[in-house]
Structure 1
Amino acid sequence: MSAALAPERVHAPVAPPESELPIRSAADVSDLVNRGAAVGSDARVVIAIALGGVFLDAYDLGALAFGVKDIAREFSLTPTGTGFVASAITFGAIIGALFGGYLTDKIGRYRVFMADMFFFVFAAIACALAPNAWVLGGARFVMGLGVGIDLPVAMAFLAEFSRLKGRGNKAASIAMWCPTWYAAISVSYLLVLGLYAVLPESHSGWLWRLILGFGAVPALVIIAIRSRYISESPVWAANQGDLAGAAAILKRSYGLETRVDPAAQTASAKPAARKAAWSNYGALLRGVYLRRTVLATVIAIASSFAYNAVAFGLPVIISSFLKQSMLTTILASLALNLCFAFVGGLIAVRTVPKIGAWKLTVVGYMFQLAALVGLAIVGRPTDGTAVVTAIALLAAFLLGQGFGPGSHSMTFASLSYPTSLRGVGVGFNQTLMRSSSTVSLFLFPVLSAALGTKVFWIIAVAPLAGLIALLAIRWEPSGYDVDAEDFAPAPAGK
């Protein structure tokens, strides 16, 4: 063989092992993710860390529930001032969600997640040391920025590191946010119970400070371990044209050996998915996405308004409306969250791949509507039987929230949009949802003081609105490959 042929032999491509999967486009990357990760890969760890962010969101939002009365007394707050402190975190979450959704699509899931944990650390410490209501409200606002930024990126990780169908599919992974949320609320209740038992009565004013300050601990843990396991979303990286980076992520987080087809390096082969822009918020209100946005928004607002009024007001309901002691209030709130809201969330995770998010949400709203109407009719209990009835109705409300709108408000928000719109989709949804939370947290102390148990008639409007929206728009996101819409038009009517 002549020497002239030697250079060609040296530079000729080596045939890849048959085990390597070819990547020609972002659609191929999305398809590999949809098939599921290899056994022993880091994908589940990534999902767990993303859920850790959700845990922090819930803990920080709910940690103030038992301290509201003490804060009002310590800082001599009026009902309006109490509402300001309670709702400051959701004001921050509104702004955080709006910017966080855009940044999640613009600079990537990894960078946003790596940054937002610091909000939780500094804000939690500031809350614990707050000398007055203004500093406390300001620190809670900053904490809310972290909450708002975190939800879009956490939902993106859950959706983009999960398989499309079967057990543990995208809808099930996203639904895990719900039991995680209730676990965080239960942890705050357990901390209150433990501190309530050990703190001397002369130091009872420290209780709310210790509870709020503890939020820095899990944030520091996440900061310590996230760089080891967290990677960028492979689908997002591929949508940006970085197929080589997506292949590296698939190997690291999914345990998949892949290779980028040389033909995919040409400009014409790069993905045509829309790039991140503020105008993408407008895309949520056009075409097929309008119907999905309307449905996801109504579910989110209705779920948030009712849940915040009942769940975050649970200690007030039990101690004031039901005339129970502080210890009974803590134990009852803990039991209701663990036995009904948390269990309901686990039911959603196991059943959504087979039953679907739409049906579960409809049934959940039916539970809530019946429970709230029942609470309004029972009113302020005057005997033991009425107290048991009221507790049972609260349990039914939380169970319905757990397997219904509580789990699937985020399913609809996250899986109604493809990768290129997921950040702004969740951000938009969370902006409106947090607005509802702000109104709910602000109004509940005022309305409950003025109306007593008749406030449940007003809260019952929320699940009724959710039911009407679901019956009008029958959109099922579970099992549907919405990410494919970045590469092909959405089917009509979807």
Structure 2
Amino acid sequence: MTDLTAESHVATAGSEPTGETLFIRQAADVATLVNNSTQARSNAHIVIAIALGGVFLDAYDLGALAFGMKDVTKEFGLTPAGAGMVASAIAFGAIVGALIGGYLTDKIGRYRVFMADMFFFVVAALACAFAPNEYVLAGARFVMGLGVGIDLPVAMAFLAEFSKLKGRGNKAASIAMWCPTWYAAISVSYLLVLFFYSVLPEAQAGWLWRIILGFGAVPALLIIAVRSRYMSESPVWAANQGDLHGAAAILRRSYGINAQVAKEADLTPAVPVRRASWRNYGELFKGIYLRRTLLATVTAVASAFAYNAVAFGLPVILSSFLAQSMLTTILVSLALNLLFAFVGGLLAVRLVPRLGAWRMTVAGYGCQFVALLGLALVGRPDDGTQAAVSVAMLALFLLGQGFGPGSHTMTFASLSYPTSLRGVGVGMNQTLMRGSSTLSLFLFPLLSAALGTNVFWVIGFAPLAGLLALLLVRWEPSGYDVDAEDFTAEPPARPQ
């Protein structure tokens, strides 16, 4: 444990925060202060909330087209392949964006990337709203995907690096908050669909998808305005770059900690700081990080494949398999997301400090496998009882996603690597996960048309793969000080 010298300090009006002065001698001291922060005056919660605002927009834009695909297909006369192109364009853009964003997050800092990526959403949302054909729409969705891909690595870095290590609201819980935020965004998109569906004249019903996609520019502009006032660089990242004075200033501003750099500060640490480089993507597959990377990758890919097939296809499943009206489809989809996916995400945030991410992800995948098995066995419901069973299985799937892989695959991706590798770690994870999403979104319409409800047998292999990976690699990131691996030659004691 690094020794932090403290002495009483009385501030004059307009000076730095009052209270004892904590002297920083090396980068590890900054991480220690963040990990143990209990400051009542901390603004770190605001930073975390703003980071989650970016996640909210990511989810909104990814899910906004779910109800509009039928209208898009009809308006542009799309074939199944054309519909797959439009549906998967945003995920393909996120693949490229995550790879670039992960590197830039580590290279130029969390703050600069965070402040820039919202402009992708504004431009793309407006382009989608006025798209004259499927090619412009697909191109705009690709640009939107670039914003999603760039935003997630930096958002996860902020969530990890502005949270304490243990206890309620720890790093794992903060990162898990991305999941209920995601489902809240999906629910908002459903509510907007419901609102505009009820107020638009029938002759203008085809405008619905354009309004929903264009509306994404509104929260993006609000987030830009809020970020410009409250955001700051990650103090841990700044310290890793050798800027101890900058890190101390951030601690004073964001945490109310009266941090000062000691005169005898060690600006040349014994363990060289890993600098940002494209080669760091290769570091993810070396040493202690290999097994963590494999676990994070397999669980993320499996989760994305299953979730995108079920969640994106949820309106299709409800309207086609259960023969419901559009209004009923919207209401049931909204209820399923709020009552099960969203609630599951809240359970993950509350329970992960005590139960850990590994156990909750195993339980979540188990629920998903049972749900997909039930949907496959029921097939197309012939009566009300079978329809109720199908809806119950969808609810079980979304609940398992919420408290299990939906929340914690991002925990594995973010907390398996220290600060110097966190951007590329999340970037690599998101690149591979979005590859799975692209494949899932493109294949689901084709597989559903060819196999009907037998498609659930295919989707069922995804949670099985996730379970197998978890049983082979028993890595628990919650409560583990992974950032210390940047400052020591040997990692802190914890089974790898």
- Output the TM-score relative to the length of structure 2: 0.95
2:91: which partner in 1? Answer: 90
2:12: which partner in 1? Answer: none
Runs of 5+ unmatched residues, structure 1: 1-14
2:16: which partner in 1? Answer: none
Aligned equivalents of 2:176 and 2:37: distance in 1?
A: 17
Aligned equivalents of 1:246 and 1:492: distance in 2?
A: 28
1:27: which partner in 2? Answer: 28
Residue 48 of structure 2 aligns to a residue whose secondary structure is: helix
Larger deviation, residues 462-471 vs 255-264: 255-264
1:299: which partner in 2? Answer: 299
Q: Contact (CA 8 Å) 1:191, 1:211: kept in 2 or not?
A: yes
Q: Contact (CA 8 Å) 1:37, 1:255: kept in 2 or not?
A: no
**1:437 counterpart = 2:437:** yes
The amino acid that maps onto 2:57 is L
Q: Contact (CA 8 Å) 2:26, 2:267: kept in 1 or not?
A: no
The amino acid that maps onto 1:321 is F
C-alpha displacement at 1:36, in angstroms? 2.1
Pair 73,197 (structure 1): closer, same or farther in 2 beyond 3 Å: same
2:417: which partner in 1? Answer: 417
C-alpha displacement at 1:273, in angstroms? 2.0
The amino acid that maps onto 1:412 is F
Residue 21 of structure 1 aligns to a residue whose secondary structure is: strand
Aligned equivalents of 1:452 and 1:389: distance in 2?
A: 17
Q: Kindly name which structure, 1 or 2, has the bigger radius of gyration based on alpha carbons.
A: 1
C-alpha displacement at 1:16, in angstroms? 7.1
**1:73 counterpart = 2:79:** no
Residue 423 of structure 2 aligns to a residue whose secondary structure is: helix
Q: Contact (CA 8 Å) 1:25, 1:270: kept in 2 or not?
A: no
Runs of 5+ unmatched residues, structure 2: 1-6, 10-18
C-alpha displacement at 1:272, in angstroms? 2.5
Pair 188,99 (structure 1): closer, same or farther in 2 beyond 3 Å: same
Aligned equivalents of 2:52 and 2:267: distance in 1?
A: 37
C-alpha deviations, 1:134-158, integer Å up to 9, x for none? 0000000000000000000000000
1:448: which partner in 2? Answer: 448
C-alpha deviations, 1:148-174, integer Å up to 9, x for none? 000000000000000000000000000
C-alpha deviations, 1:272-298, integer Å up to 9, x for none? 320100010000000010000000000
**1:161 counterpart = 2:162:** yes
The amino acid that maps onto 2:411 is T
C-alpha displacement at 1:269, in angstroms? 4.3
Point out 4+ residue stretches in structure 1 off by more than 4 angstroms: none
2:471: which partner in 1? Answer: 471
**1:224 counterpart = 2:225:** yes
1:157-306 → structure 2 map (5 Å cutoff): 157-264=158-265, 267-269=267-269, 272-306=272-306
Larger deviation, residues 484-493 vs 93-102: 484-493
Aligned equivalents of 1:268 and 1:348: distance in 2?
A: 40
Q: Contact (CA 8 Å) 1:239, 1:271: kept in 2 or not?
A: no
Aligned equivalents of 2:267 and 2:123: distance in 1?
A: 45
Q: Contact (CA 8 Å) 2:248, 2:261: kept in 1 or not?
A: yes
**1:344 counterpart = 2:354:** no
Aligned equivalents of 1:194 and 1:270: distance in 2?
A: 60
Aligned equivalents of 1:335 and 1:197: distance in 2?
A: 18
C-alpha deviations, 1:223-271, integer Å up to 9, x for none? 111111100000000000000000000011111001101111x543487
C-alpha deviations, 1:298-330, integer Å up to 9, x for none? 010000000000011100110111111101100
Aligned equivalents of 1:408 and 1:385: distance in 2?
A: 34
Q: Contact (CA 8 Å) 2:304, 2:436: kept in 1 or not?
A: yes
C-alpha deviations, 1:23-66, integer Å up to 9, x for none? 01110000000012511321000000000000000000000000
C-alpha deviations, 1:113-132, integer Å up to 9, x for none? 00000000000000000000
Residue 264 of structure 2 aligns to a residue whose secondary structure is: helix
Q: Contact (CA 8 Å) 2:90, 2:144: kept in 1 or not?
A: yes
2:377: which partner in 1? Answer: 377
Aligned equivalents of 2:267 and 2:71: distance in 1?
A: 63
Residue 22 of structure 1 aligns to a residue whose secondary structure is: strand
2:461: which partner in 1? Answer: 461
2:320: which partner in 1? Answer: 320
Aligned equivalents of 2:168 and 2:38: distance in 1?
A: 13
Residue 477 of structure 1 aligns to a residue whose secondary structure is: coil
Q: Contact (CA 8 Å) 1:240, 1:271: kept in 2 or not?
A: no
Residue 268 of structure 1 aligns to a residue whose secondary structure is: coil
- Output the TM-score relative to the length of structure 1: 0.96
C-alpha deviations, 1:447-484, integer Å up to 9, x for none? 00110000000000000000000000000000000000
2:15: which partner in 1? Answer: none
1:131: which partner in 2? Answer: 132
Pair 456,479 (structure 1): closer, same or farther in 2 beyond 3 Å: same
Aligned equivalents of 1:269 and 1:36: distance in 2?
A: 24
Tell me how many residue pairs correspond in the alignment. Answer: 479
Aligned equivalents of 2:41 and 2:147: distance in 1?
A: 31
Aligned equivalents of 1:213 and 1:37: distance in 2?
A: 41
C-alpha displacement at 1:493, in angstroms? 4.4
Aligned equivalents of 2:270 and 2:141: distance in 1?
A: 43
Aligned equivalents of 1:105 and 1:361: distance in 2?
A: 28
1:87-126 → structure 2 map (5 Å cutoff): 87-126=88-127
Q: Contact (CA 8 Å) 1:25, 1:271: kept in 2 or not?
A: no
1:9: which partner in 2? Answer: none
